[in-house]
């Protein structure tokens, strides 16, 4: 009887919500809901009917992943879900325990580092759309992603969730992702705003960074998501910036996000990132989630009315300490989100676990894998080339969709690299040995392995001795203090004795290649001794198939590194200044490298990385022609049209992510040696030549002048370079900008 009553109540509430729509919208195409006057009129009408208590309730959680709406007026609840790579499993109403449903599995898409490595915005839209379809089918109104925090140090535990070290690449990849998700009537929630570049001490660390670093490095992807992607939700970060918590930071939220960028969506806390009722009320926080918990495991049961934007907010309004207009502005934004999502009667129904979703997950995985070294044509390993292939390493079999924190997922299927290799080469040709082992996935403690490390290594060495070729699937995983929420890595080394294992394997079989699975750079003391090396990622449901397709040569690798890999940790900018620059002293952290993040640091300081940003090899060869511009002199409002010939001179079809960098010749302030300002993923058949065209807005060559707090474009000569990586310039041309 209870289920029947709940169903009838749901029908009644949605019926009321329907009649709240203007008559000329009922039954019409959902595009009408973008009409500002219609929506604003309905918002004001609903707002006028709500009690003060009903409005307060809209601004805070009612469960771990929902807000209550306004039942009396038929305004629906808002349901949210992690994460950026797939729709997370269901949780209990008021605890962090899994609900153990049988129908909450999902397609797991590759982590966003992999998406960034594709350098393919078209694929990013398809990824976002597929994720949005699954979120809509699961009746989610907000998906808590994408993450666009900049890769500042290879120790950050959540780098695997983000789009790399370059703000331009992140900006161009995040916009289509957002558009793809929101096409389905599901809000993307871009996170974590802002300067959340580590998980160590994330709840309290105070970041000090210059206005220039803020505007040139850490904000561009957020700005693009708002102004170009039209994102409907943004999540605040845990940390502080200039002494004020980011989830109610006046500069970040009121002035920049809602002021300068005209963001009209909802600003949401990370779970438990609010700290003060007055600041939250005045500084732009709209929805508060997860307070009174540590965001992970414990909390005060049913504490929702105690949230900073709950009863404390209500009391301060009633006492006159805070204005009701602050509350009304929040509710307006929340109602606008309702109209865009669960009160849009014409939004699609969504899809789940379709063949198309599987194909998109596979395609992203294949395009993201980066070939870093290929001596003696180690790769590809065509079928029939070797009789016995040794597959070694825990990451060949470990379920890498588990762990990691909020991005944990429940895949319908997860094809391991070992299974992919067996399917590709045949069971009789594959020898497997674990080699090393970690504990069970956990993101609050390091759990011990159940296996004896010496025995595993001995067995792996014997397996390698009896094989024609060895492939080690190693790297990191999503356990505590690796690629995992809640803390950072301790160092850049491979864990669980993998470096020693590689040395031991080489002693018995020098025909060895390594596949690093991680979301971060790792140290490679053995790099000169291995013949083949790939940087793989957390590839999701179809990861094993993708890996086997690249290794076998069925698919030509085309991924490019979205971050630089240093030879040693101290070569990285943030790690070169000592603890005050990373991870801080426990209270404050100063971004001393300023705008010189990633390749900007390596180039400007003349430090050679192990592998540079944008680097990636192919099984074919590409010949770049001379860069051409449509003219020599440009004004600020013009666009530079750069073109060049690109030829696939090899014998295999392939794709190349060509990159365009800009260098100002005589800047009045320090500028990096070069900055990425354009890229294009170009597919070429063997022997084919195409004319590649990349457009560059002259205004995009400006820098942020913190002396006058404004973007500045100087009259000067600018070198336009086309390149296959940040360290491999193929051709350059010089233009002049006149003011």
Question: Are 270 and 296 in contact, with CB atoms under 8 Å apart?
Answer: no
The Cα 180–Cα 620 span in angstroms is 32
Cis peptide before 583 (omega within 30 of 0): yes
Q: What is the phi/psi pair of residue 694, to 5°?
A: -130, 130
Out of 270, 487, 488, 594, pick the active-site residue. Answer: 270
d(CA 180, CA 599): 30
Q: Select from 462, 393, 386, 392 the least CA-distant residue to 429.
A: 386
Question: Is there a contact between 532 and 373 (Cβ–Cβ < 8 Å)?
Answer: yes
The secondary element (H helix, E strand) that includes residue 348 is none
Q: Which helix (H) or strand (E) is 271 found in, with range? A: none
β-sheet with 430-433: strand ranges across = 370-374, 532-536, 512-517, 469-475, 389-392, 430-433
Determine the straight-line distance between the first and last CA of the chain, rounded to whole angstroms.
75
Mapping DSSP onto H, E and C, the string for 515-575 reads: EEECCCCCCCCCCCCCCEEEEECCCHHHHHHHHHHHHHCCCCCCCCCCCCECCCHHHCHHH
Sheet with 240-241, strands from edge to edge, namely 244-245, 240-241, 206-208, 588-590
Nearest-angstrom CA–CA distance, 711 and 667: 13
Sequence-ordered list of residues with C-beta below 8 angstroms from that of 116, at least 6 positions apart, any chain: 162, 163, 164, 169, 170, 173, 368, 562
Instruction: Work out whether the CA dihedral 81, 83, 87, 90 comes out positive or negative.
Output: negative
Q: Which residues are within 8 A (CB) of 428 and not within 5 positions of it... i.e. 6 or more apart?
A: none
594 tagged catalytic: no
* Pair 154, 568: CB distance under 8 Å: no
**Cis previous bond, 146, omega within 30:** yes
Neighbours of 722 (CB within 10 A): 27
Instruction: Go through 671-695 and write b for each residue having 16 or more CB atoms within 10 A of its CB, e for each that does not.
Output: bbbbbbbbbbbbebeeeeeeebebe
Q: Coil, helix or strand for 469? A: strand
CA distance 350 to 714: 49
Answer for the pair 273, 246: CB distance below 8 angstroms, yes or no. yes
Q: Check if the beta carbon of residue 223 is closer than 8 Å to that of residue 216.
A: no
Would you name the residues annotated as active-site residues?
270
């Amino acid at each position: 009887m209870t289920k029947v009553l709940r169903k009838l109540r749901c029908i009644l509430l949605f019926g009321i919500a329907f009649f709240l729509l203007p008559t000329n919208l009922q039954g019409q195409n959902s595009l009408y809901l973008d009409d500002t006057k219609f929506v604003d009129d309905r918002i004001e009408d609903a707002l006028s009917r709500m009690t003060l208590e009903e409005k307060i309730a809209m601004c805070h959680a009612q469960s771990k992943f929902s807000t209550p709406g306004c039942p009396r007026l038929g305004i629906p609840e808002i349901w949210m879900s992690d994460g950026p790579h797939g729709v997370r499993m269901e949780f209990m109403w008021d605890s962090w325990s899994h609900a153990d449903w049988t129908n909450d599995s999902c397609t797991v898409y590759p982590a966003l580092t992999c998406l960034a490595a594709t350098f393919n915005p078209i694929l990013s839209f398809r990824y976002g759309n597929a994720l949005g379809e699954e979120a809509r089918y699961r009746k989610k109104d907000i998906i808590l992603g994408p993450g666009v925090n900049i890769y500042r140090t290879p120790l950050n535990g959540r780098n695997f969730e983000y789009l790399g070290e370059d703000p331009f690449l992140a900006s161009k990849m995040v916009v289509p992702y957002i558009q793809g998700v929101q096409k389905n009537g599901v809000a993307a929630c871009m996170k974590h705003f802002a300067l959340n570049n580590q998980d160590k001490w994330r709840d309290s660390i105070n970041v000090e960074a210059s206005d220039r670093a803020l505007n040139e490095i850490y904000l561009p992807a957020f700005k693009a998501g708002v102004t170009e992607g039209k994102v409907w939700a943004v999540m605040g970060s845990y940390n502080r910036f200039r002494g004020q918590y980011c989830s109610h930071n006046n500069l970040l939220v009121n002035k920049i996000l809602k002021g300068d960028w005209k963001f009209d969506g909802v600003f949401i806390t990370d779970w438990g990132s609010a700290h003060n009722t007055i600041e939250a009320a005045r500084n732009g926080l709209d929805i508060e989630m997860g307070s009174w918990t540590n965001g992970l495991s414990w909390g005060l049961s049913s504490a929702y009315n105690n949230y900073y934007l709950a009863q404390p907010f209500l009391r301060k309004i009633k006492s006159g300490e805070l204005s009701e207009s602050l509350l009304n502005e929040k509710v307006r934004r929340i109602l606008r989100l309702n109209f865009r999502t669960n009160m849009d009667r014409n939004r699609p129904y969504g899809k789940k676990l379709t063949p198309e979703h599987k194909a998109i997950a596979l395609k992203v995985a294949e395009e993201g894998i980066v070939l870093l070294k290929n001596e003696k044509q180690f790769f590809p390993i065509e079928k029939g080339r070797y009789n016995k292939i040794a597959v070694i390493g825990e990451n060949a079999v470990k379920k890498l969709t588990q762990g990691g924190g909020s991005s944990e997922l429940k895949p319908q299927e997860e094809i391991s690299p070992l299974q992919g290799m067996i399917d590709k080469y045949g069971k009789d040709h594959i020898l497997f040995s674990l080699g090393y082992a970690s504990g069970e996935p956990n993101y609050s403690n390091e759990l011990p392995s159940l296996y004896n490390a010496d025995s595993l290594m001995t067995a792996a060495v014997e397996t390698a001795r009896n094989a024609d070729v060895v492939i080690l699937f190693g790297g990191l995983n999503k356990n505590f203090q690796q690629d995992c929420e809640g803390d950072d890595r301790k160092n850049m080394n491979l864990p669980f004795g993998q470096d020693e294992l590689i040395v031991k394997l080489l002693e018995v079989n020098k025909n060895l290649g390594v596949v690093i699975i991680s979301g971060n750079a790792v140290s490679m003391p053995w790099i000169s001794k291995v013949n083949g090396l790939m940087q793989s990622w957390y590839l999701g449901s179809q990861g094993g198939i993708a890996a086997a397709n690249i290794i076998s040569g069925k698919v030509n690798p085309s991924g490019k590194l979205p971050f630089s890999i240093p030879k040693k940790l101290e070569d990285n900018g943030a790690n070169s200044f000592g603890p005050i620059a990373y991870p801080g002293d426990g209270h404050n952290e100063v971004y001393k490298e300023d705008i010189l993040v990633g390749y900007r640091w390596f180039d400007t300081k003349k430090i050679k990385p192990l592998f540079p940003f944008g680097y990636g090899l192919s099984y074919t060869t590409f010949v770049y022609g001379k860069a051409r511009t449509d003219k020599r002199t440009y004004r600020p409002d013009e666009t530079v049209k750069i073109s060049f010939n690109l030829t696939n001179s090899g014998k295999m079809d392939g794709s190349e992510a060509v990159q365009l960098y800009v260098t100002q010749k005589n800047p009045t302030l320090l500028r990096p040696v070069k900055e990425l300002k354009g890229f294009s993923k170009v597919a070429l058949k063997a022997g084919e030549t195409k004319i590649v065209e990349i457009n560059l807005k002259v205004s995009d060559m400006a820098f942020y002048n913190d002396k006058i707090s404004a973007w500045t474009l100087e009259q000067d000569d600018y070198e336009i370079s086309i390149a296959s990586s940040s360290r491999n310039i193929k051709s350059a041309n010089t233009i002049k900008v006149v003011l």
